[in-house]
Amino acid sequence: MKLYTYFRSSASYRVRIALALKGLAYEAEYVNLPRGEQQADSYRRVNPQGLVPALEDGGRVLTQSLAIIEYLEERYPQPPLLPVEPFDRAYVRALAQIVACEIHPLNNLRTLKHIRSVYRLDDSGVNAWYRHWIAEGFAMLEGMLARERRAGRYCLGDAVTIADCCLVPQVFNAKRFDCDLAPYPIALGIFDECMRLDAFVATQPARQPDAVA
């Protein structure tokens, strides 16, 4: 398998975690987002969306991190990243989608570039935008985790799921932008537990060969 990835890409980090948890080896192809390599013709031939991650398996290309993780789950089921019971599966998918649909697209590189150039926001304006959507999204996550009371060490009990694969990279992003995460103790506790696991530690941004300060 070949993973097109960028160290700071949280969507790529989700997939790196899933691959690591399942013990799947891959070759990494680095796509430098600040340099705009995601827009290059050579990469657009791999993923016309111009986004990372993309995963090549058996000569075919998969895109969109959640679809990639679900593919890995179906093709390489052990250890499972989805629970067995349908309600539980929908629950962890919902948590994953709060991150992937309600937070991440609003704070993506191309969104930030767009608001900076079209609406003439300076650094402090962009940071305020970023922190606003982190606060809204994490309040949703924390609210759901608190109301359902189903978290154990991880989002659902004591087994890592797709929800944890999404939560941890989003916490990394929030920390990078100095967001206040104190109001989300359940989410932070889960983050701390995940970061005891090699699969989350080895795949974190700073440990990637393409990482730069």
| Residue 88-117 contact track with ligand GSH, rule CB under 6 A, x = bound | ------------x-------xxx-------
Question: Minimum Å distance from CB 56 to ligand GSH?
Answer: 15
How far apart are alpha carbons 203 and 157 in whole angstroms? 23
Give alpha helix (H) positions in 54-154.
Answer: 65-75, 86-97, 109-118, 123-148
Peptide bond connecting 79 to the previous residue in cis, omega within 30 degrees of 0: yes
Question: Minimum Å distance from CB 152 to ligand GSH?
Answer: 26
Question: Minimum Å distance from CB 132 to ligand GSH?
Answer: 19
Q: Is 65 in the site for ligand GSH (CB under 6 A)?
A: yes
Long-range pairs, 31-35, Cβ under 8 A, ≥24: 31/4, 31/5, 31/6, 32/6, 32/210, 33/6, 33/8, 33/9, 33/109, 34/109
| Residue 3-32 contact track with ligand GSH, rule CB under 6 A, x = bound | ------xxx---------------------
Question: Minimum Å distance from CB 145 to ligand GSH?
Answer: 21
- Which residues of the shown chain bind ligand GSH in the complex (CB under 6 A)? 9-11, 33, 38, 51-53, 64-66, 100, 108-110
